[in-house]
Every structure is written in structure tokens, then in C-alpha cells.
């Protein structure tokens, strides 16, 4: 049995997301609406997501624009799409619930999300946490 996740580790993850949202650069192409939207985007960028591909035909571009809107309106779920020929790939973040993600997997996800933040924004997650604590 793997080591259980700690509440402190979980709190750190959400503190990093909140601090990153607060310092999100205006120049960045992605414009998160709130910390939850940013968390979902970071999980997808860190490849902690489901990817489903659907053949939709010549209207793939139109479908790709509608899917995230419909998904959020119906299921309160953030998603991102990518057109691949006549197909649409839909990316939906996976759960990080304690019962779904063990300690080791969550440690890796923390590291992956921190790296996405560094690469995408130039922000240092540890520095953001220190600033928040001060």
C-alpha cells in the first residue's frame, strides 16, 4: 500500500495555484477566470488529464469552439480542445481527490505543475509561497 497523501501537501498545492493566479502575467495567452480555471489548465498542461478524440467531420473547427462552452455549462467542467484533421481531441483534467491519487503520484503531479508554472510564466512557485507567507 502506498503512503497516504498529507493534508499539508494538499494545502501547498492549492496555495501555489492561488498565488500563481494572483501573479498571473497579463501578457500570457491563457487568461484564467479564477483559480479553479487555472488549476484545471495547469493539470491539463501537466498531462494529468483524459484525452478523448472524436471524429466530427469537416466542421471540426466549429465543434472545437463549442465543446468547452457546452461542457462547462452542462457539467461545470473545464476542458480544452485541439483540432486534428476532421477530429477533435478533448482534454479534461483528472481528479486529484485523495482516494484517486496516492502520495507518490501527487508528489510527481506537484513537481509537474510547478514546472509548468516556471516554463509558462517564469514565476517560481516556491518564491510565490514565501511571498504569500511574508
E strand segments, the chain: 49-55, 80-84, 87-93
Q: How confident is the model at residue 2 (pLDDT cuts 50, 70, 90)?
A: low
The set of cell numbers assigned to 124 is 517560481
Looking at the whole model, is its pTM more than 0.85?
yes
If you average pLDDT over residues 78-107, what whole number do you get? 94
Q: How far is residue 98 CA from its own chain's centroid?
A: 17
**Chain segment 7-58, per-residue pLDDT in tens:** 999 999 999 999 999 999 999 999 999 999 999 999 999 999 999 999 998 8
- Of 96, 80, 78, 100, the C-alpha closest to 88 is 80
Of the chain, the end-to-end C-alpha distance in Å amounts to 38
**Chain segment 52-79, per-residue pLDDT in tens:** 999 998 899 999 999 999 999 998 999 9
Amino acid at each position: 500500500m502506498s503512503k497516504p497523501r498529507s493534508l499539508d501537501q494538499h494545502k501547498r498545492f492549492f496555495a501555489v495555484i492561488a498565488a500563481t493566479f494572483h501573479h498571473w502575467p497579463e501578457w500570457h495567452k491563457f487568461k484564467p477566470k479564477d483559480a479553479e480555471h487555472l488549476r484545471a489548465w495547469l493539470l491539463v498542461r501537466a498531462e494529468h488529464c483524459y484525452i478523448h478524440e472524436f471524429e466530427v467531420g469537416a466542421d471540426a473547427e466549429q465543434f472545437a469552439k463549442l465543446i468547452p462552452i457546452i461542457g462547462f455549462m452542462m457539467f461545470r467542467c473545464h476542458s480544452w480542445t485541439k483540432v486534428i484533421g476532421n477530429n477533435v481531441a478533448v482534454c479534461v483534467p483528472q481528479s486529484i481527490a485523495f482516494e484517486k491519487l496516492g502520495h507518490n503520484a501527487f508528489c510527481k503531479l506537484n513537481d509537474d505543475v510547478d514546472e509548468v508554472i516556471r516554463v509558462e510564466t517564469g514565476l517560481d512557485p516556491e518564491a510565490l509561497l514565501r511571498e504569500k507567507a511574508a
